[in-house]
Structure 1
Amino acid sequence: EKTQTEGNAFGQFLAMLAEATHIVDLDEAANIMQRQLLAMADELAEPGSPLQENVLALFYEQAAVLNGDEGFHLMTHELKDSITSELPIESVTSEALQHLREHFAADKARSVDPLEEHLPMLHSRLAVLLQGEYDRAIALIETDAELRKSVGHFLYDIIARSMLHAQALVGVIVERVLSRLTDEQLNHLVYDKVEPDLLWIRMNGSIVGAGIGLVMYLLLLLFH
């Protein structure tokens, strides 16, 4: 009250007169006002209270009015541009990323999980959430035939597309590997792969030749 009456001589005079005659106790009035403000703050913080609903309705109403004002939009964009142009966002972001890279590199050199070391509560919470979601997904796949079929088709499609795109890369890899082998290594590689087939071909030829020779010998005996 004293602050509000400064600069107003007549108001100061009336306040001094009221305080001198004990008509108004400024300290008591300030205490009453403080208690009322605290009660209003408590009611305002209570979800669903009438005061909170009224304040929110007023806020939404004024926000809608400001949203339809082109001058307010222009002022907001100008304020945003001025703030972003004056703040060293790029340098701060670059320094923060560099610090994170150095920090993670140091943790990697020590074979330490950064998240588990610096944020153990978050790490454990994420681990529990991921484990729960994984178990739930596995249970759904095991019990739902349609979902299992859809997941199977999805995985098959991914594998097929990956193999299709990797054909050229596989050829390049095989060519590079074979080009590094010597003639002796290449001969051993080919022989190791085709040795069983060559043995079976030889055995088949021997068996077939023996069978044909036996048949011809029997025919000669019959004719003689």
Structure 2
Amino acid sequence: MTMRKWANGSLVLLSVLFIAALCCVVAYPESWWARMLLYTFEAGLVGALADLFAVTVLFRHPFGMKKFPHTAIIPRNRDKLVDSVVRMVEEQLLSKESLKDKIKQFHIVEALVGWVDRRPDGFVSEQGWGIIATLLSKIDLEGVSVMLDEQARKGLRKANVSPYAGTALKWVLEKGDLQGWIGQIVDFAAQRIAVEETKQAIRNMMHKEKDKFENTGGTVSKWFKRMAVIVAESTDSLNIDDAAEAMYRDMLTFIEQLRSPEHELRVLVSDMVHKLAEDLQHSQDLSDTVNSWKNDVLDKISLLPSIQSLLGSFKQMLTEDAELKYIVLDQRSVNHEDIKRWVGEFVQGYWDWFKSSQSSMDWLEGYVQQFVGKLIETQHALVGIIVRRTLEDYTEEKLVTFIESKVEIDLQRIRLNGALIGSLVGAGLFVFLHGVYRPILDWLA
């Protein structure tokens, strides 16, 4: 049996008992117990009716009659109730200070790590790959490329590349084989010189120089130069073919001498390269020159096509539906699944490192706490807005039904208490009036 049925039953019972007590008084007018029953059940019935009326007027007009004053209190004060609830939630239950205190007591990063660790194996790698694939599929390559190009240019303009270039060059010289590289250049030059086209190129160059010599200057000067050349050729003191042959042999001899690492030119080049590495690190004049050259290059070339092409290739490489399915490196192919597996292992490895690094977790926790604190500070008004919009969706009837359903049991208990207290008060009044007050009056009389 519900509490409402108990309350209604108590009202019916008191009504029946009141009528029965009234009949007893009529039948036994001189009997004290009949009057006591009437006092008791009459007061109980009044208390039950009064509480029934009080409970009813909280939510609706009794008997549907709106002329009764101060009835349907909750529906009539709906707007005030909404405002009060909004203020209570926004300023007390979920105030800025209380929310910040609760957030500080809650370790967000540790909770996130614990939640992830409870997921099945492979969850981190799968989710990491999914996030990367989703971002790549939605990324605006052109916009990102323009942004990266601007940032790269801005960063390169600000950076003093000379010391880095000097350090890199010094590292290459220490780790590499400069004389071996020079030897390879010499071998390449020897191969190019050994062909017949080189000798012909020398001969053509000398003919051009002879023609240039004959055709420069005034008319008289040109005539004397031609005469001099004719005389030299006729006396065989000027023979271009022999000169070209001699120069060619000298070049072969010079190249052959350059094959020796102890050759003075190779030693000089090595010394100059080492000096260049040192100057790049410490010479201000050379640093200014390099940076000026760097800025000129940045003004003349664009990094945008290269960046866009690189990002496009990377996106194709990682996207499931891309046309580019394979990368070929040294005759070894890596397919899409291999790349996915590698990315998943990388994400899992980074996650494992992050969990083991308490300093990293503390740093992220501080950042998240700061972010959430700023979010609460700037967006706290949303709490009141959400509560208000939720409550405003409640019509008067819906609001009454909602509140009444939450306090139904307590309201019916109030009715029961009214009936019980009323009956006890009635019995107490009868005892006082007829057991104390009347005997005192009779004694005084």
Q: TM-score, normalised by structure 2?
A: 0.29
Structure number with higher relative contact order (C-alpha < 8 Å, ≥ 6 residues apart): 2
Q: TM-score, normalised by structure 1?
A: 0.49
Of structures 1 and 2, the larger Rg is shown by: 2
